[in-house]
Amino acid sequence: MALTLLSIDRAAFMRIHKRVEHGELEAALAVAKLWADYPPAAELECFLCSKPCGNADYPLAPPFSIVLPEYDPRFTASKLIAAPLCLSCAAIKPPALRFARCLSLLKKMAKARGKPVAFHQIKHHQPHPT
């Protein structure tokens, strides 16, 4: 097993994610295809606990993915990281706790490379509901 992290374009992913939120099946399939070129989920390592990400009931299903900010020293925020999670870690509630644990681990990884980092939330303009 190996830990595999995907680097994805932020703008493209946000467009697809918005379509998924509106219930578009094609967009949901596009997100599922992120892992199409990589080993099956059973061979992928969970980002948080290092267990296999596979689901015995659905061996060909892609792993649950959490999307995290990618370190960018120029603060362009043009990239994101998709990290696989096992079923146990994917079930951590509330989702904000799951995200915080993943972000904490991502910071430790960056610090271990000798680059202490701070991830800044980018505020996106959202139109006021009328």
pLDDT at residue 122 greater than cutoff 80: no
- Tokens read off for 18: 């918005």
pLDDT at residue 72 greater than cutoff 80: no
pLDDT of residue 118: 62
pLDDT of residue 125: 44
Kindly list the domain boundaries of the chain, sorted by start residue: 6-112
pLDDT at residue 60 greater than cutoff 70: yes
Q: Are 72 and 79 in contact (CB under 8 A)?
A: yes
Comparing 92 with 58, the larger pLDDT belongs to 92
Q: Are 85 and 91 in contact (CB under 8 A)?
A: no
pLDDT of residue 110: 81
Q: For 1-130, where are the E strands, in sequence order?
A: 6-9, 64-69, 79-85
Q: In the chain, what's the furthest Cα-to-Cα distance?
A: 50
Reported as a single tens digit per residue, the pLDDT across 3-50 is 899 999 999 999 999 999 999 999 989 988 999 999 888 899 999 999
Q: State the number of CA atoms in the 13 A half-sphere of 4 facing the CB.
A: 22
pLDDT of residue 59: 84
Comparing 5 with 1, the larger pLDDT belongs to 5
pLDDT of residue 121: 53
pTM, whole model, 2 decimals?
A: 0.83
Amino acid 97 reads L
